[in-house]
Chains A and B, each alone.
Chain A
Amino acid sequence: MSVTQPPIDSPEIRRLEPVLAPGHTYLSVTDKIAAVVLTRPLGIGWLAGFGLTFSLVMLLFLSLAWLITKGVGIWGINIPIGWGFAIVNFVWWIGIGHAGTLISAILYLLNQKWRTSINRFAEAMTLFAVACAGIFPLIHTGRPWMAYYMFPYPSTMGIWPQFRSPLIWDVFAVSTYGTVSLLFWYVGLLPDLATLRDRAKDRAQQLAYGVLSLGWRNSAHHWHRYQSAYLLLAGLATPLVLSVHTVVSFDFSVAIVPGWHTTIFPPYFVAGAIYSGFAMVLTLAIPLRKAYGLEDFITMRHLENMAKVMLATGLIVAYGYFIEFFMAYYSGNKFDVFLANQRLHGPYSHFYYALILCNILTPQLLWFEKVRRNVAALFIMSLVINTGMWLERFVIVVISLTRDYMPSAWGRYSATFWDYSTFVGTLGLFVMLMFLFVRGLPAIAISEMRELVAHQSHGKGEHQ
């Protein structure tokens, strides 16, 4: 049953490389993963990281308090640039969320076993990213305390939301996305919570996990319904994840602003979302596997596959950029042509070139397997790509607004301290939640790992 580790450098062998290092039993995987939650003491690294991110969250609260006190005027926005960092960050965060759902849903439907060891924290990442994203549409409004007007509730005014507005579509898309992701995540967690319940030593843990696991007892009947529900969820989440970023892209493509009003947006926003999402998964997975010695479960195979996905989606995004320009010039629409020139030569051109560097040129290194299999390189690249995708949204949201129809009204935008502090604050929130997650819940789906062990012990390991 134990296979000798094949030499790493021969492709045809690497193809057979298992997604789970050999030699593991049901017990060993369970122990190793559950231990991270149940027995392992809080390391200094964890405490330090948590402390840092926690302080960033405090910065976020401070920024929000000041925002509510003074108004959105504390940001750099103006007329004509009505949307700034807030919307850029919103789109960026939502995009990051997508990889989680993609991995857990689409790869599940495609029966990609290698998803198993990364889907759990990828889904967590989705939830936290959506949480961060959700903050912005709310606070970017001039009167956040009135934002509930966007929900269809019977009001004394007898008036309803305006369903032709993409912002309302956003409200429904994002809230649906959040809900479904949560359900998906929780369903996946159920058996593992039961496992933790059964292995927990102290009363508090037993109680907590006991309550959360709803009395799950691994009955074959339960498993049967469970699998059917999980499959359906995956089936539903797949179109959902595609729809969410499509709807987000509608915020722009439905508007008539030159640089926004284009039909390429939905596909290329979705591709971009997956692109940045996978980058973020890498950013998280690489330190995680190192810190908790999970290299056996998150193997080079995973990293390499994700690198390949990034390369693919990166190319789609590149195509999107190209088509934007092509359509501008081909259609001859003078406003679009002007904007295209502005991107290349305008006051914000350096942003555009930086974006091309991060999103299109750098990822081309992934063609080389040496790079794909170099953890450090991948980590750095994932950071570069996340930056690039943020820049992309900045270019789309802000630059288009600086040069629209009326030359007399043209303006410029530059962020203020509060713009930055809010963004950094949400980064802190995201990572802090991640820290809490890895210590509170199994970062890898234990039951699915056991399944994997079973498959491997029957020598099926090679067929994924």
Chain B
Amino acid sequence: MEHRPHSYGVMAEFDTPEEIMAAAKKTREAGYKHVTAYTPFPIEGLAEEIGFKWTAVPLITLLGGIGGGLTGFGMQYWMMAVSYPLNIGGRPLNSWPAFIPVTFELTILGAATFAVLGMIALNKLPEPYHPVFNVDRFSHASTDKFFLCIQAKDPKYNLAETARFLQGLNAKHVDEVKDE
């Protein structure tokens, strides 16, 4: 049976950060929930405008750091004082001051790796295919154009109306985002 592409949403294109900020504001006021914006560089407050407030990245980072630090010191203490204790130049088995540098480095390492991997994971990357790529002009999202996309799963979504609504925000183009 032949597969009929359903619609992912409608996407509007703007020229400047100001325009898309305004558009995002109106979209929210119009009561759309499932909205995403695509901009060639981060724009302050845009995410908040389209209702994205809190991210877990800092928390993950903190956990990574704590984990790294504990592992660091624990490992050294265990190896030097428990697993294979040796008299090294008359220094105590638990020479904790000497263990600080490695503990510190592992704290940083844990935090940094968690921060990056956390960010990538939360962004659900790598994601080679995404419907928005089907829009021809979308490649400008990484250069000089600003896009606002209302997704089909939004309760208020209706292809024709939503498209018209976006038109009303004097978008340069409005395209349907198909999902083959």
Contacts and interface: CB of A to CB of B under 8 A. Distances in A.
Q: A and B touching (C-beta < 8 Å)?
A: yes
A163 B132 contact: no
B128 A210 contact: yes
A221 B42 contact: no
A461 to B, nearest CB: 16
A447 B39 CA distance: 10
A23 B46 CA distance: 26
Given A160-B84, A168-B102, A172-B106, A450 B41 contact: yes
B125 A220 contact: no
Contacts of A173: 101, 105
Contacts of A222: 123, 125
Contacts of B57: 225, 228-229, 232
Given A163-B99, A183-B113, A217-B141, A454 B17 contact: yes
Given A160-B84, A218-B142, A228 B55 contact: yes
A25 interface: yes
A385 B46 CA distance: 45
B58 A183 contact: no
Contacts of B128: 210-211, 215
Given A214-B125, A215-B125, A220-B43, A233 B102 contact: no
Contact of B36 (A158, A169, A220, A232): A220
Interface string A201-245: 000000000110011111111111111110011001101100100
B139 A233 contact: no
A160 B83 contact: yes
Nearest to A447: B41
A217 B52 contact: no
Contacts of B65: 236
A152 interface: yes
B45 to A, nearest CB: 10
Given A225-B57, A225-B122, A199 B109 contact: no
Contacts of B141: 198, 217-218
Contacts of A152: 75, 79
A158 B91 contact: no
A217 B132 contact: yes
B66 interface: no
Given A168-B102, A215-B125, A191 B142 contact: yes
B63 to A, nearest CB: 12
Given A183-B116, A218-B38, A27 B142 contact: no
A247 B111 CA distance: 19
Interface in A46-93: none
Contacts of A168: 102
Given A163-B76, A229-B116, A232-B115, A451 B41 contact: yes
Interface residues of B, number: 62
Interface string B127-171: 111101100001111111000000000000000000000000000
A227 B42 CA distance: 8
B21 to A, nearest CB: 11
Given A169-B102, A195-B143, A210-B128, A220 B50 contact: yes
Contacts of A220: 36-39, 42-43, 46-47, 50, 52
Contacts of B40: 26, 30, 191, 195, 218, 447, 450
A248 to B, nearest CB: 11
A237 B112 contact: yes
B83 A158 contact: yes
A164 interface: yes
A199 B143 contact: yes
Interface in A420-451: 447-448, 450-451
Nearest to B141: A218
Contact of B47 (A159, A214, A221, A447): A221
B88 interface: yes
A162 interface: yes
Contact of A27 (B105, B106, B116, B144): B144
B133 to A, nearest CB: 7
A229 B120 CA distance: 9
Interface string B72-112: 00011001100110001101000100110110111011011
B39 A223 contact: yes
A275 B29 CA distance: 53
A359 to B, nearest CB: 27
A264 interface: no
Residue of B37, B52, B106, B116 most packed against chain A (CB within 10 A): B116
Interface string A172-185: 11001001100110
A452 to B, nearest CB: 9
A224 B88 contact: no
Contacts of B39: 218, 220, 223
B105 A172 contact: yes
A3 B146 CA distance: 25
8 contacts: A164-B91, A184-B112, A197-B142, A199-B139, A199-B142, A220-B43, A225-B119, A247-B101
Interface of A: 25-27, 30, 152, 158-164, 166, 168-169, 172-173, 176, 179-180, 183-184, 186-187, 191, 194-195, 197-199, 210-211, 214-229, 232-233, 236-237, 239-240, 243, 247, 250, 447-448, 450-451, 454
Top-10 shortest CB links A-B:
A26-B144, A229-B119, A214-B126, A160-B79, A198-B139, A223-B42, A220-B37, A215-B127, A224-B47, A169-B101
Interface of B: 17, 36-43, 46-47, 50, 52, 55, 57-58, 61, 65, 75-76, 79-80, 83-84, 88-89, 91, 95, 98-99, 101-102, 104-106, 108-109, 111-113, 115-116, 118-120, 122-123, 125-130, 132-133, 138-144
